[in-house]
Amino acid sequence: MKITNVTTFRTSTPVHKTAGTNWLFVRIETDAGVTGWGEGSLQYKDAALEAEINDFGRYLVGKDPRRIEQIWTSLYRRVTWAGGAVTMSAIAAIDLALWDIKAKALGVPVYELAGGPTRDHIAVYANGWFENANEPDPNAPAGSGAMRQSATLYAEAAKSIKDAGWTALKFYPFGGPQVITQQRIRHGVEVVRAVREAVGPEIEIGIDVRARLDPWSAGRVAQRLEEFDIAWLEEPILYDNAKAMGAFARSVNVPVSTGEQLYSRWEFEPLLEENAVRILQPDICHCGGFSEITKIAHAAETHFVSIAPHNSNGPISTVSSIHFDMSVQNAFMQEIFVSFFERYNQILTKPLVIENGITKPPEGPGWGTDINEEALKEFPPGDFLQVESEPYLLF
């Protein structure tokens, strides 16, 4: 079996807080008639990512797609200036498509090819459930149009997501510049309190700071969040310094998670050596695909650390993450964007199903589902300007 063609596809995401971004898929074809789908969606970096995939594609044509490890290592080690978000996302997209091809050729699901299921399903948590739950910020300059979370609207939205059968959720109550104020702490805590009271004690709550705070500020926030029994505090500080993250995690009484902007097993190793972070969140689209996220999970297992894959991407990212979750022992929970879910099933050939807070892959070989190319035409890619179009203004 030989690779004959590598093609990229872009499609716009549904409108949400990062409106204007696109999902980017890769289709790899073979002379045996077996086709695989991957995804490397990398917000606001379409041009660079697509160019990297197309350049790699020239190398891939004529190669045996079943030699996944050899191809992965070649794309990572045989190039100059290896690693980084763009290259690792390109490798991820290709790697995912190769796993799809090999599993289809063998007539088995990807998780079966990866060693077989370790569970019958995986728990999921909801992100993106709070769209339109904001209110004008009374503390912002007049005419700025600045918004903040509404405790009342967040509580209503959280109750709705619970009533829909979800058993875990995540949100972002602390924004603004790195150094926090008492006013921002108080408002963020009010939002968390409202959500906890709305959903009750049995629903898991994750709080994502998205690296918006410095250690001093994040420590004050963590102390105030203890009473709400949160499941994790995500990226409370910037992710670049493993020692700083480890020191912070040891200094607080809430579980800390991080990892969405680390791109390989080698970047996760210093963090694991700190023995402080409780949950790692590699992104299958950005950390090198199914091959690499599995190696990261096995390394984490030696430190008794759980994996909850980050996933703010498209449907192949989601499906492949679920296959990964099914295949490793230390998967904790899978992130799902509620605001994307309808679009997922519009462009997948077989739908994803979530019931009572759990999911599993669609039945069938490979991912169990493909991309409907005709459906992609209904959602042409959007345009944007890097930095200017991105929603995060203050660091």
Whether residues 174 and 227 share a domain: the answer is yes
User: 66 vs 23, 185, 290, 375, CA distance in Å?
Assistant: 26, 52, 14, 29
Same domain, 93 and 213: no
- Which pLDDT value is given to residue 147? 81
| 66-90 pLDDT per residue, tens | 999 999 999 999 988 999 999 999 9
Residue 15 pLDDT class (50, 70, 90 cuts): confident
Q: Does one domain contain both 105 and 135? A: no
According to the model, what pLDDT value does residue 119 have? 97
Is residue 176 very low, low, confident or very high in pLDDT (cuts 50, 70, 90)? confident
Per-residue confidence band for 137, with pLDDT thresholds at 50, 70 and 90: confident
Residue 210 lies in a domain: yes
Q: 151 and 68 in one domain?
A: no
Domain identity same for 160 and 33: no
Among the candidates 79, 109, 139, a domain finishes at 109
**Together in a domain, 206 and 283:** yes
Model pLDDT, residue 384: 85
Mean pLDDT is lowest, of 139-143, 178-182, 288-292, 355-359, for 139-143
| Residue 18 to residue 391: CA distance in whole angstroms | 6
Residues 85 and 224 in one domain: no
d(CA 259, CA 281) in angstroms, rounded, equals 5
Banded model confidence at residue 132, pLDDT cuts 50, 70, 90: confident
Residues 221 and 320 in one domain: yes
* Cβ count within 10 A of residue 98: 27
Residue 378 lies in a domain: no
Domain enclosing residue 62, as ranges: 3-109
Give me the count of residues in the chain: 395
Q: Phi/psi zone of residue 216: left (φ > 0), alpha (ψ -120 to 50 degrees), beta?
A: alpha
376 occurs within a structural domain: no
Quickly state the pLDDT bin for 17 (edges 50, 70, 90). low
% of residues, the chain, pLDDT over 90: 87
In a domain, 74, yes or no: yes
Residue ending a domain, choose from 89, 109, 129: 109
Q: How many domains does the chain have?
A: 2
Pair type for strands 232-234 and 279-280 = unpaired
Q: Is 149 part of a structural domain of the chain?
A: yes
Residue-wise pLDDT tens digits, 93-110: 999 999 999 999 999 999
Is 286 part of any domain?
yes
pLDDT at position 238 is 95
Tokens of 147: 């918004």
Same domain for 218 and 118, yes or no, is: yes
pLDDT at 16 over 70: no
Domain final residue pick, 109, 129, 145 = 109
Distances 335 to 64, 114, 215, 284, 331 between C-alpha atoms, Å:
33, 21, 25, 12, 11
Q: What is the mean pLDDT of residues 306-317?
A: 97
Task: Looking at the structure, tell me whether residues 131 and 215 fall in a common domain.
Answer: yes
- Give pTM, 2 decimals: 0.96
Q: Is residue 99 part of a domain?
A: yes
Q: Identify whether 64 is part of a domain.
A: yes
**Pair (21, 169) in one structural domain:** no
**Average pLDDT score, the chain:** 95
Arithmetic mean of pLDDT, 338-360: 96
Confidence of residue 322 (pLDDT cuts 50, 70, 90): very high
Does the pLDDT value for residue 141 go beyond 90? no
| Domain CATH for 294 | 3.20.20.120
Question: Looking at the structure, do residues 151 and 166 belong to the same domain, yes or no?
Answer: yes
In 3D, which of 237, 244, 241, 242 has the Cα closest to residue 220? 237
